[in-house]
Amino acid sequence: MLTGLLYVPVNRLFMKVKNARGRSKNLINASKTLRTQLKELPEAWIVIKTNGSISGSNDAARDILDLPMKASGINLIEHWQDPRVETIIRSPVTDEIIEVSSPKDVNTQLEVRTHLFDDDHRLILVRDVTPLNRLLTTRQDFLANISHELRSPLTVIVGYLEALQDSATIQDTEEIVARLFSPVQRMRNLVEDLLTLTRLESSPRPSIYEMDNVNVAKIIETISREIKELDSFDHVIEMSIDDGAIAVGIPEEIYSAINNLIINAVRYTPEGEKITIRWLTIEDGYLFEVTDSGPGIAPEHLQHLTERFYRVDSPRNTKNGGTGLGLAIVKHILLRHESTLTITSTIGEGSTFGFKLPQARRST
C-alpha cells in the first residue's frame, strides 16, 4: 500500500531529476559549442582580470598579439608593454577605444576596445586597422596631389586671363589665348585620366566571355603612325613585331595600355635617340615591350612607378608633360587582364616596360 502511495511522487521526482540531467547536458553541450565558436571568431578577443591577467582568448588574439597557445595567466599589460594599453585596462571607464602598435610588429596598427564584463573581468576586442589606415593615407595623398596638379594650370590660366583684361591689341589677345591652350589641355587630360582610372578600379574584372581577339600589331602600327605625325617627334623607332600574334582581351583597354607606355617612352627619350617596340610570341602567350633611351630609373623607385602621381626626382621629370596617372592606368588595365607590368631600368641607359597577354581563343 505504501509503495503504491509513494510511486507517483517518487516517479515525478525521478522524472524531474532525469529532465534536469537532460537540461544540464544540453547546457554543457551548448556551452562547449559556444566556447568553440568564440575561439574560432575571426575577430581577436581576450578576457582579462582587473590585474591584467588573461583568463581567456581565441586563436586570432594569440596570433595578432604573439601570445602562446596557453595564454591563460599571462599578464597582458606586461606582455604588451604599452602605457596606453595599461591605462585602458585599468580605467574604470568602459567601452573605450584606442589605437596602438602590435607587440608582434610595430608597423601593425591595432584598434583596441574594452567592455566591462563584471566587477572582476574585462573583455578586450582587437582589430587590425593597418590596411584601413593605409587606405586613408593613400586617399589623403591623392587629394593633396590632385589639388596640386589642378592648382598649377589654374594659376597659369588666371594669370593669362588677367593679362587678357589688360591687353591693348588684338595681337596681344591672340598670343594670350594661344598660351591658354596648354594648361587647359593639361587639365582636360587630367580629368579624363581620373575618370578612366576610377572606371577601371570600380568595374568588375571582365570574364573571358566579355573579351575579344586583339590585333596588337595593328594597335602598335596605329599608335606609332600617330606619334610620328606629331610636330615635336624627333626619334628613331625600331620595331620587332609578330603580325600573326593575336591576343585576347578588351581591345580598347589594351590600346590604352600600349598607348600610355609608348608615349611614356617618347616623353623620356632624348631627341634623335632610339625607341624599341617589341610584340613577340613566347611559350605561354605573347609579350609586349617598349624600351626607351632615357636617363634610367634608380631601383628604389621602380616599385612605386604605378602609384598615382608618383614622381621620380631625376631628369625623367624635365620633359614629363603627363598627368602622373598613365602608369597607374596601365597597372589596373593589366590587372583586369590577369597580367602585370614589368619594369627594368639601368641608370644612363634607359628603361623597358612590358607585359604578357594570353593567346586568342581558337575558333572551332
Radius of gyration of the chain (CA): 33
- Indicate the average pLDDT of the chain: 81
Mean pLDDT of 235-249: 92
CATH of domain 208-357: 3.30.565.10
Q: How far apart are CA 199 and CA 339, in angstroms?
A: 18
CATH of domain 38-128: 3.30.450.20
pLDDT confidence band for 106 (50 / 70 / 90): confident
Percent of the chain with pLDDT over 70: 80
Mean pLDDT of 194-209: 85
Mean pLDDT of 270-297: 93
Of 263 and 88, the structure prediction assigns the larger pLDDT to 263
Residue showing cell 596638379: 149
Residue 38 has pLDDT above 60, yes or no: no
Residue 224 has pLDDT above 80, yes or no: yes
- Does the predicted model carry a pTM greater than 0.75? no
From the number of C-beta atoms within 10 Å of its C-beta (0-12, 13-18, 19+), residue 278 rates as: middle
Domain range 132-202, CATH architecture: Orthogonal Bundle (1.10)
